[in-house]
Amino acid sequence: MIKYPGLVPSPQFYEVVDGHFAITEDTVISIQEDKARKKKWLIDLRDIIYNEIGVEVIISAIPVKNGKNIVLIQEEVAAESEEAYELVINNNNIIIKGQYKGLYYGIKTLKQLIVKYKNKLPVITIKDKPAFSNRGWMIDITRGRVPKLEYLFEIVDLASDFKVNMLQLYIEHTFMFEFTSEINVGKDGLRGEDIIALDAYCQEHMIQLVPCIATFGHLYEILKSDSYKHLCEYEDYPNEPYDWMKRQLHHTLDCTNPESIELVRNMLKNFVPLFRSPIVNICGDETFDIGKGKNKELAQQVGGTELYVNFLKEVMSIVEEMGKKVMFFGDMIIKHPEYLEELPKDVICMNWNYDPEVTEDDTYTFMKAGVVQYVCPGTIGWNRALNDYEGAFQNITKLIRYGEKYKADGVLVTDWGDFGSINCLSTSLQGLILGAAMSWNPKDSNCDSLQSYHEAISPHLGYEDMDHLNLFSLLTDISNKMHITWEHLMKWYFDVSFGNTSYGAAHEFIEEPDCSFFRSILEELESLLDKLEDYKGKVYSKLNFSRKRDLEEAVHMAKLVKLWQHIGLMIKKFYFEPEGQKALENRELREEAISLAAQTEKWLIKYEKLWRAGNKESELYRIRDVMTSLCHYLREPGIYRHR
């Protein structure tokens, strides 16, 4: 039985027969129409062939007779999709047919076959088109980590390889607005010229760069500024000490103050014209404070949802005046779906849910209301050293299949950076690419299980199995041992440092388990990390620059999993245990804590180096402050005692 060649995404139809095609130096690449526009594609394909199999092929205006050809033919192959393509490989020729975008994706598929099979390509017929016409990634660049432009180009390259056609960069304050200097200071935000360059690069790669900007809630930095703090729903929040949790939960605009909508107007007019996209994502999610501060009395009269919808419609009107279509998050309005009929009919509602056990209820509700929706699963990497890979797999596959069932218009996989963006994009790749695969073909058999998906994706990133070790499976095993996360340590730190007592529930993760539980996890992690280092040593030299960096980051973050569990154990011993005073006097335990502090500091030094390789300095200092404070506690655990 002939084995399926293993493509990500999996094509809608394929047929494999005996035989193979070998590329030789006499092979000619040609294209029949619009040669100038597609010249770069031919050069890229030639370079891929040379880099992967060491053969220099010829680019020609016409195919050769009685020779081997790779021919691109621009023609319609599926009336309902301009992204459809056909790829036929026989013993003598490779023929790709499709419209402009279809040809591009056909080349991407051929590239995957070359990377996987080198110079023994299978004889195969592929007829392919996407299930969803909109297949996107959203990346958080506002909560601590702002990528450099060069790194954003790499993200575009990778996204296009897996047939993603939409990219959104989530922004609250990390854009250099022209109308303010106060907000811009110290943020390392993107500049207008960065957006223009990235937008052009995205267009070359068949990706729509959609402006994505918070316009209602999640405006912490803006509403803490002297210039705009009077526009916050709560008067006292702007004057409180910095707190990651409050940055997540609060700082919503006062929706009845006319200056609020003028601020939003200025933000949009500064930002949106830099993009070619006909869509603007105004976000509008998690406006938890609405009607609880300055507008409490009014909310009691008309309802908080009424206030929300009225302001949302004002923001939508600004976008419509700019000739753009509106996209927004639907988490607030889904609680009162009767308000959906008040919104313009062409708005796009983003149906997000990050629960591994997500149900189809909301997707059905939006469909029944006649709303255009994107389903938005998540990589579940926020607040973690490594993503919850098993949870993300369940979330992404389920929500996308619900989207297919209820005719969603698109998919947008989200990668957030709550509490400083300590998580790295490299550890979210398998979730992002899973979303790309599923949004192209929700019936992809590679995605029937997490293991089969790992086996399918690994070769296409250069991470081939070594001695039965699979990189993504190893990372999943390590992630599953992560009992203590960044959220738990961060909340404990803010409680004991600033006298905050609001995070008690998070402390249970540290306080309740037996010490033997932590010791057992540490032993298991030590064994898994040894295997991971062994894998890295075997594969590292074979990788390109980007994949080397990603692997180095992933291995480094895996080490943080162990450090966090160990720190959690020390906090339990010194802070939560009834006999904490005896622990303070235990010389062996104190030496263990001091050694752990040194290990953590060494880890932090390398982390800062990895951060700066692909990102601006931005808010790295906030992570450093918490990590070094934890190290200070390990050296001087007597500074805090359980109240």
What is 40-90 written as a DSSP string?
A: HHHHHHHHHHHHHH----EEESSPPTTS-EEEEEE--S-TT-TT-EEEEE-
pLDDT digits (tens, 9 = 90+) for 297-310: 999 999 999 999 99
* Percent of the chain topping pLDDT 70: 97
Measured CA to CA, the distance from residue 166 to residue 137 in angstroms comes to 6
* Enclosing H/E stretch for 444: none
Comparing CA positions, the residue from 417, 390, 394 lying closest to residue 482 is: 390
Instruction: Return the domain boundaries, the chain.
Output: 13-128, 134-461, 474-639
**Catalytic residue numbers, as ranges:** 286
Give the three-state DSSP class for 18.
strand
510 pLDDT exceeds 90?
Answer: no
Mean pLDDT, to the nearest integer, of 333-349?
94
- Whole-angstrom distance between the N-terminal and C-terminal Cα of the chain? 68
pLDDT digits (tens, 9 = 90+) for 383-425: 999 999 999 999 999 999 999 999 999 999 999 999 999 999 9
471 pLDDT exceeds 80?
Answer: yes
- Give pLDDT, residue 248: 84
- Give pLDDT, residue 387: 98
Give the three-state DSSP class for 320.
helix
642 pLDDT exceeds 60?
Answer: no
> How does 230-242 read in b/e, with b if 16+ C-beta sit within 10 Å?
ebbbbeebbeeee
Q: How crowded is residue 10: how many other Cβ atoms within 10 Å of its Cβ? A: 20
pLDDT digits (tens, 9 = 90+) for 102-157: 999 999 999 999 999 999 999 999 999 999 999 999 999 999 999 999 999 999 99
Comparing CA positions, the residue from 582, 552, 576, 590 lying closest to residue 642 is: 576
Of residues 35 and 471, more confidently modeled: 471
Look at domain 13-128 and name its CATH class: alpha beta
pLDDT digits (tens, 9 = 90+) for 474-495: 999 999 999 999 999 998 988 8
Of the pLDDT bands very low, low, confident and very high (cuts 50, 70, 90), residue 347 is: very high
- Give pLDDT, residue 500: 64
578 pLDDT exceeds 90?
Answer: no
323 pLDDT exceeds 60?
Answer: yes
pLDDT digits (tens, 9 = 90+) for 527-557: 999 999 999 999 999 999 999 999 999 999 9
* Residue whose structure tokens are 């992690």: 525
Mean pLDDT, to the nearest integer, of 288-294?
94
Comparing CA positions, the residue from 168, 216, 212 lying closest to residue 313 is: 216
- Give pLDDT, residue 36: 59
- Give pLDDT, residue 468: 83
Look at domain 134-461 and name its CATH class: alpha beta
90 pLDDT exceeds 60?
Answer: yes
Of the pLDDT bands very low, low, confident and very high (cuts 50, 70, 90), residue 643 is: very low
What lies within 8 Å, CB to CB, of 491 at 6+ separation is 245, 503, 506, 507
- Give pLDDT, residue 63: 87
